[in-house]
Structure 1
Amino acid sequence: MDKTPKLPVWDSEDRADVRPQWQSVTSETVFQNPWIRIESHDVITPTGHPAHYGLVKFANRAIAVLPLHDDGTVSLVGQARFAVDAYSWELPEGGGPFDEDPRTAAFRELKEETGLEAAHLHEILSFDMSNSVTNEVAVCFLATGLSQSDRAPDETEAFEYARVPFKILLDAVIKGQVRDGLTVVSVLRLHHMAVTGELLPHLRDAILS
């Protein structure tokens, strides 16, 4: 007799029509600036219990661009991050209004932060940034066919620049040396694309060899 435990059928659909939902009873904006709004909510949880919840809403969609050169290197920017009080090496990234095409924002952020212009830009992943406390969503792009022009960072940005072989960047992500979430997710996604045959052969060979 086969005694192998039977795994439950996994349904990744939302199924909001049949599952208990959160209910917001009262809400109040306690802080707002041009980028975020912090709300305080009295809620009824999916279990039916009352609770209090804080929510951070973002004015923009998060955008990340992985600039992959034909030789298998990736362009990174380095900057000091106030929120974590640490220096961070990461992909070019920023934000774009929800009524703007994410591709437009991606082209802009890539050009401003690195001076790179891309002949090809492909969306490779979208995800929720931290769904327990914020509704922020992110879209990640792969940029190829790169050419260099002038950078145009804004007055608050002080960048360093590096061009790193993908294998070294992947190793730094795995070891926790590169910690920025958008960068981690994009690098792992690109590796997955390479090993599953989703990349053009010359790019696949450049990053895996």
Structure 2
Amino acid sequence: MTSISHKKFEEVTISTRSVFQGRIISLQVDTVKLPNGSEATREIVKHPGAVAVLAITPDDRMLVVEQYRKPLEKSQIEIPAGKLEPGEKPENCARRELEEETGYTSASLQLLSSFYTSPGFADEIIHLYVAQGLTKGEAQPDEDEFLEIEAITLEQAQQYMAEGRISDAKTIMAIYAWQMYKLTGKF
């Protein structure tokens, strides 16, 4: 059953103007009609979507990668993640990204949650998976990716958060999911 509340306060698009078409994102400016009849503009970043993987090793460690993030002008420690290719299923993307970035393959992959990163200006959705039953292999990052792989404990993850070395939402969300799993035994 579909709820009509998802249309509450709907902004009807009057026109759309493309501003930028990039390799990963595009930017458009929409003119919209507000619920009160007024008009406004909305700057919208379009993104193909992405996956992120909370990968837990047999010795109860989380796989992370450290890489430089140009928008932040610093290195970050994050869980493996990547964008969806056109027509790619999120689960297949999660398996691919895990193997490319860490070398690991997974016997079990479970969707934890799908969430929007910044719905005020972007349509990017991230599908967060948990991977267990890992088998180690050889990482094969993309040619423009420079990564360092680490397997960390929950305590290390919390310390990295406190230090600001982990500060992205998907990784923080994964750490909290892992913490809940340790408390309840369920993802």
| Structure 2 residue 10 is matched with structure 1 residue 21 | yes
1:98 shift after superposition? 5.7
Amino acid at match of 2:182: A
1:141: which partner in 2?
129
Amino acid at match of 1:139: H
Q: How does 1:93-172 map to 2 (within 5 A)?
A: 93-97=81-85, 99-172=87-160
* SS at 1:198 equivalent: coil
Percent identity between the two aligned chains? 27
Which structure: larger Rg? 1
User: How far apart, CA to CA, are the structure 1 residues paired with 2:78 and 2:160?
Assistant: 11
* SS at 2:108 equivalent: strand
CA contact (8 A) 2:76 2:165 kept: no
For structure 2, the residue ranges without an aligned partner over 5 or more in a row are: none
* SS at 1:189 equivalent: helix
The 3 A distance-change label for structure 1 pair 174 and 140 is: farther
TM-score, structure 2 as length reference: 0.91
Amino acid at match of 2:132: T
1:95 shift after superposition? 1.2
* SS at 1:153 equivalent: coil
Amino acid at match of 2:153: P
User: How far apart, CA to CA, are the structure 2 residues paired with 1:162 and 1:85?
Assistant: 21
Amino acid at match of 1:36: I
Q: Cα deviations across residues 147-194 of structure 1 (Å, max 9, x unaligned)?
A: 111111111011112111122213433564411221111111222233
2:30: which partner in 1?
41
Please, which of 178, 186, 190 is the counterpart of residue 174 of structure 2? 186
The 3 A distance-change label for structure 1 pair 14 and 61 is: farther
CA contact (8 A) 1:20 1:47 kept: no
1:48 shift after superposition? 3.3
CA contact (8 A) 1:113 1:151 kept: yes
User: How far apart, CA to CA, are the structure 2 residues paired with 1:71 and 1:160?
Assistant: 19
1:203: which partner in 2?
none
For structure 1, the residue ranges without an aligned partner over 5 or more in a row are: 1-12, 200-209
User: How far apart, CA to CA, are the structure 2 residues paired with 1:121 and 1:142?
Assistant: 6
TM-score, structure 1 as length reference: 0.82
User: How far apart, CA to CA, are the structure 2 residues paired with 1:149 and 1:74?
Assistant: 16
CA contact (8 A) 1:170 1:188 kept: no
The 3 A distance-change label for structure 1 pair 47 and 86 is: farther
1:92: which partner in 2?
80
Deviation >6 Å, runs of 4+: none
CA contact (8 A) 1:125 1:186 kept: no
2:56: which partner in 1?
68
1:14 shift after superposition? 6.3
CA contact (8 A) 1:78 1:160 kept: yes
